[in-house]
Amino acid sequence: MPELPEVEVSRMGVSKHLTGKSISNITVRTPKLRWDIPTDQLKTLIGHHVVAVSRRAKYLIIETDVGHIIIHLGMSGSLRVIDIDTPLKKHDHVDIAVGAKVLRLNDPRRFGAVLFSNIDGQHRVFDKLGPEPLTDAFNALHLMHKCAKRKAAIKLVIMDNPVVVGVGNIYANEALFLTGIHPLTPANQLTESQILQLVNTVKDVLAAAIKQGGTTLKDFSQTDGKPGYFAQSLFVYGRDGEACMRCKSELQTIKIGQRASVYCPKCQPTLI
DNA sequence: CTAGAGGCCTGCCCGC
DNA sequence: TGCGGGCAGGCCTCTA
> pLDDT value at position A223?
39
Question: Considering the entire predicted model, what is its pTM?
Answer: 0.91
Condensed to tens digits (0 to 9), the pLDDT of residues A176-234 reads 999 999 999 999 999 999 999 999 999 999 998 888 775 555 455 443 444 445 556 78
**pLDDT(A17) > 80:** yes
> pLDDT value at position A215?
54
Q: Is the CB of A173 under 7 A from strand C?
A: no
**Amino acid whose CA is nearest the C1' of B4:** A257
- Provide, in whole angstroms, the distance separating residue A119's CA from nucleotide B14's C1': 50
Known catalytic residue at A3 = yes
> pLDDT value at position A224?
41
Q: Is the CB of A155 under 7 A from strand B?
A: no
Q: Is the CB of A6 under 7 A from strand C?
A: no
Percentage above 70 pLDDT, chain A? 92
A78's CB contacts (< 8 A; 6+ apart) are A2, A10, A105, A106, A107, A224
For residue A57, give the nearest of A146, A167, A155 by alpha carbon: A167
Mean pLDDT in chain A? Answer: 88
* CB atoms closer than 10 angstroms to residue A31: 9
Q: Is the CB of A109 under 7 A from strand B?
A: yes
Condensed to tens digits (0 to 9), the pLDDT of residues A70-84 reads 999 988 888 999 999
Of residues A126 and A6, the one with the higher pLDDT is A126
- Provide, in whole angstroms, the distance separating residue A49's CA from nucleotide B13's C1': 45
Condensed to tens digits (0 to 9), the pLDDT of residues A18-51 reads 999 999 999 999 999 989 999 999 999 999 999 9
> pLDDT value at position A227?
46
**Per-residue CB contacts under 7 A with strand C, chain A residues 119-138:** 125, 128
For residue A116, give the nearest of A68, A47, A74 by alpha carbon: A68
Give the dihedral sign, CA A120/A126/A130/A132.
negative
- Provide, in whole angstroms, the distance separating residue A35's CA from nucleotide B7's C1': 13
Q: Is the CB of A72 under 7 A from strand C?
A: yes
Q: Report d(CA A266, CA A191) in Å as an integer.
A: 19
Known catalytic residue at A149 = no
